[in-house]
Amino acid sequence: MSDHNNKHETEKNNKELDFVTGPSFQKVIKKAKWKQTIKYLVISVLSTIIVLYALFCGGQYLLQKRLVNDDKFLFSQVNGANVYMDGGMNVYGFLNLSVVEHITVKKTIGDREIVWNKKEVEIPFIGRKNVIDNERFTEKTGFSERFNRQVHYNNYTGEREVDFYYPQLEYEYLPNELEIATKLDDNTLAEVALSFDKPYTLKEVQNLMGSENIDWVWVKTATKDRLNDIKSDSFLRIMDGPSADGFQVWGNDLSQAAEMFLRNIKQLSEEGKYKSTAQEMVNVINPKALPKIDDLRISGVVVSGTPKELERFQGLKIIRASIIGATINLY
């Protein structure tokens, strides 16, 4: 009888302990697991959204910072003979984390503006910039029997680039293409790069040749070491227009344009990728103090106009060499 009671008691206890396999408990377990799974899923989704949002905001911030700190437009105001960057157009990519800059470079000839170059650059928020279209910025160079010199051609327009001859160097041949420019068709507008026999102050240039028809001013920024290095290189002895330092002249106010040039190189010399280049310009112009207009030394200018308008520059003793650049029809 006792054994029977013990067996019955054991079976009863086992049934009470086996409640975990019951359907009610299993339902509770499944519900708890689903809640836990949903909880983890919600936490994961929210965490992912927060991380992606942080990356998105950070990426946009870095991209905008790269665009703001990109001082190539400012540098174009102090480098490149008679060319300037027009207001570019930015096309943003996916989630605004990259941008394609459409850059247009223009040139002034007489009272006309022409498109001189175009360029497209893809800028991600991080990493290297990707030049999408750079072919148009290349130049072709060839020796011209007619002009008895190496001639640079702009690959986008097919027109000639201007060149300059350093006043401090000696040359076997000095071109005088101003004479050719004055004999072109009357309905032609031409630009001509004039190289001086020595560097002059801005006031001296204005007194000797006036300020009309002057589109761009070539400023002396080459160091003595630089001049010594290029003496033995026949190709570098001629300053190509796209690499020359100087400033654009709007209207006939050379002084105002010179002031802007000095402000631009001062700003560039303080920070950015062109800091060392701009600082070298500042040091050449005035190594002891902040440069002023009177410290500028002018090695040449770019003038433009009709053949008749260009005639007034003929016979000026300060002109050592002259190169014809781009030409367009007046009408």
DSSP H or E run through 50: helix 23-68
Classify residue 257 by burial, with Cβ atoms within 10 Å: 0-12, 13-18, 19+.
buried
Q: What is the mean pLDDT of the chain?
A: 84
| Range from 47-56, 172-181, 216-225, 235-244 carrying the lowest mean pLDDT | 47-56
Q: What is the mean pLDDT of residues 166-176?
A: 94
User: Which whole number is the average pLDDT over 152-167?
Assistant: 92
Residue 136 has pLDDT above 80, yes or no: no
pLDDT at 135 over 50: no
User: Nearest to residue 88, comparing CAs of 78, 79, 76?
Assistant: 76
Question: Confidence class of residue 50 from pLDDT cuts 50, 70 and 90?
Answer: confident
- pLDDT classification of 180: cutoffs 50, 70, 90: very high
* Averaged pLDDT for residues 157-161: 91
Q: Which of 30-44, 113-127, 180-194 has the highest mean pLDDT?
A: 180-194
Give the lowest-confidence range in 133-142, 181-190, 240-249, 288-297.
133-142
Distances, alpha carbon 114 to alpha carbons 84, 117, 253, 255, 330, in Å? 11, 9, 22, 25, 12
Identify whether the C-beta of residue 246 lies closer than 8 Å to the C-beta of residue 219: yes
pLDDT the model gives residue 102: 79
The answer to whether the beta carbons of residues 321 and 218 sit under 8 Å apart is no
The residue among 293 and 252 whose pLDDT is bigger is: 293
Task: Encode pLDDT of 301-323 as tens digits.
Answer: 999 999 999 999 998 999 999 99
Residue 267 near residue 81 (C-beta atoms within 8 A) = no
Measured CA to CA, the distance from residue 88 to residue 130 in angstroms comes to 17
* Nearest CA-CA partner of 188 in 107, 17, 305: 305
Instruction: Yes or no: say if 265 and 281 are a contact pair by the CB < 8 Å rule.
Output: yes
CB 116 within 8 A of CB 105: yes
Q: Distance (Å, rounded) from C-alpha 149 to C-alpha 284?
A: 30
pLDDT at 124: 73
86 strand-pairing partners: 104
Q: What is the predicted pLDDT for the residue at 120?
A: 77
- What whole-number distance in Å separates Cα of residue 175 and Cα of residue 179? 10
What is the pTM assigned to this prediction? 0.79
Rounded to whole angstroms, how far apart are CA atoms 77 and 65?
A: 21
Q: What's the pLDDT tens digit per position in 223-258?
A: 988 888 888 776 778 999 999 999 999 888 899 999
Q: Predicted confidence band at 5 (pLDDT cuts at 50, 70, 90)?
A: low
